[in-house]
Amino acid sequence: MINEQIRDREIRVIGSDGQQLGIMSSKEAMKIAREADLDLVKVAPQAKPPVCKIIDYGKYRYEMARKEKEAKKKQKTIDVKEIRLSPNIDTNDLNTKVNHARKFLKKGDRVKVTLRFRGRELAHVNSSKVILDNFAEQLSDCAVIEKPAKFEGRSMIMFLGEKR
């Protein structure tokens, strides 16, 4: 809220130099802000009484946007990468997939390992769980199982995360 939008009877006012001007009515504060050719901005509306500051509003908005942008830059988003396997995968193919997962984990991403069953493969679901266990065992040096293997629909899914 700025200038005329502030309708509180009493507000705590902070001057443009950061000095406390005390508690006064919003009309008095507006008068002081106009004399300084600045805006009256409510910075802490939940305080008792609300805190308002005499500042240049355009400059204030610019600074806030810059701070937000800087904070966003420092954030790290964690992606979920998926690796698909089949029940009749060969050892060399499995090793290749393990290397891909290792690369994803080193980058800081989570890995979703999906073992997909098609047709008659659904009859051998129990023996195929060994493939996912073997996959997790090969990555045990750099990964930890976040969600163990779980059967959903026609696939078995397991989540791996980076070991800390």
Structural domain boundaries in the chain: 3-71, 80-162
**Total Cβ atoms within 10 A of residue 36:** 14
Each residue's pLDDT tens digit, 14-62: 988 888 888 888 888 888 888 888 988 888 888 888 898 998 888 888 9
What integer pLDDT is reported at residue 42 of this predicted model?
87
Please state whether the peptide bond connecting residue 87 to the residue before it is cis, i.e. omega within 30 degrees of 0: no
Pick the CATH number of 80-162 from 3.10.129.10, 3.30.70.360, 3.10.580.10, 3.30.110.10: 3.30.110.10
What integer pLDDT is reported at residue 82 of this predicted model?
95
Each residue's pLDDT tens digit, 72-109: 888 877 889 999 999 999 999 999 999 999 999 999 89
Residues β-bridged to residue 52: 13, 42
